[in-house]
Amino acid sequence: MKMEFLVTHTAINGLIILSYLFAIIMIIQSKAKVFKNAFYSIFVATGFADIASLFSVCTLRVIRSLNLGEETKDIALLAFVITYMTLMAHLIGNMLITINRYSALCLMNRYDVIWTRRNVRIAVIIQYVISFVAFVHVTRANVDYIHNEDGTTTIGSLREKEIDLIARFTCIGACIVYATVTLSLNVRLLMEWKRLSRENGVPKHRHHDKGLLLYALLVFTCAMMMCLQQVVNNAEHREKEQRKSIPLIMAVLEDGDRGIKWSITCSTLL
């Protein structure tokens, strides 16, 4: 059953990667002017991060499901680093897409000034620089492996708890910032679309593509679900770590209690 689950997930991952890659290649190779605008440029730039993320997540799933040992530690660490960095790149890219759609409706007279090719390139560079800087410290970590009673080995989290904690809280912070910014922009976006639709029927401005608006809202919904999953997963991980630390704390307290009793006994004898 476990193997069937792994094969199914890997096959689905592969199909998504191929479909995503096909769409990106078609956009890059297309001569149509519409695919040269800022929206599709950001979509392509973020798409590469998403594909890398799918590869890294699939790699970690295979290592965990097949109970591969510490010989995979370098590959696992690389997968951890890529997963963290691409998550940040994904959130920033989706935020840029939301800002792009917002400016298309609410700042339509300044759209061409804001979304020049130069500004789009700068935005994409900043997107990947932030993603790299935020998690470059993870490269100094080591992947922890749990040795089970049956002789198998299961991949855990990062061995250095400080690095692991910083990475997880960075993810949570990024999710909160993304949710706050995009939620407020999307609410304003929908209100503006409704107003323009009432005044002019359907907005006729060349940047008012309903399909792109719906895509931006769909991306927002999916990203919010992903952010919620990140917060829940990190909370569960934190709770497990606290449970593990309780026996250790109790042992330390017991040792300390014995030490105090021994000191009192020695003092009494003296």
Question: How many structural domains does the chain have?
Answer: 1
Q: Collapse the DSSP code of 168 into the 3-class scheme (helix H, G, I; strand E, B; otherwise coil) and give the result.
A: helix
Question: Does residue 105 belong to any structural domain of this protein?
Answer: yes
Query: What is the Cα–Cα distance from 81 to 223, expressed in whole angstroms?
Result: 20
Q: Collapse the DSSP code of 103 into the 3-class scheme (helix H, G, I; strand E, B; otherwise coil) and give the result.
A: helix
Query: What is the Cα–Cα distance from 177 to 157, expressed in whole angstroms?
Result: 25
pLDDT at 207: 47
Question: Does residue 265 belong to any structural domain of this protein?
Answer: no
Q: What CATH number corresponds to the domain at position 84? A: 1.20.1070.10
Question: Does residue 32 belong to any structural domain of this protein?
Answer: yes
Domain housing 32: 2-255
Q: 83 vs 197, which has greater pLDDT?
A: 83
Range with the poorest average pLDDT among 74-83, 86-95, 258-267: 258-267
- Whether the Cβ atoms of residue 107 and residue 127 lie closer than 8 Å to each other: no
Question: Does residue 260 belong to any structural domain of this protein?
Answer: no
Question: Does residue 266 belong to any structural domain of this protein?
Answer: no
- Asked if the model's pLDDT at residue 128 lies above 70, the reply is yes
Q: 257 vs 154, which has greater pLDDT?
A: 154
Question: Does residue 231 belong to any structural domain of this protein?
Answer: yes
Structure tokens at 216: 């931006």
**Residues 48-87: pLDDT tens digits?**
999 999 999 899 989 988 888 889 999 999 999 999 999 9
Q: What percent of the chain has pLDDT over 90?
A: 33
**Mean pLDDT confidence for 15-41:** 89
Task: Provide the whole-model pTM.
Answer: 0.78
Question: Does residue 262 belong to any structural domain of this protein?
Answer: no
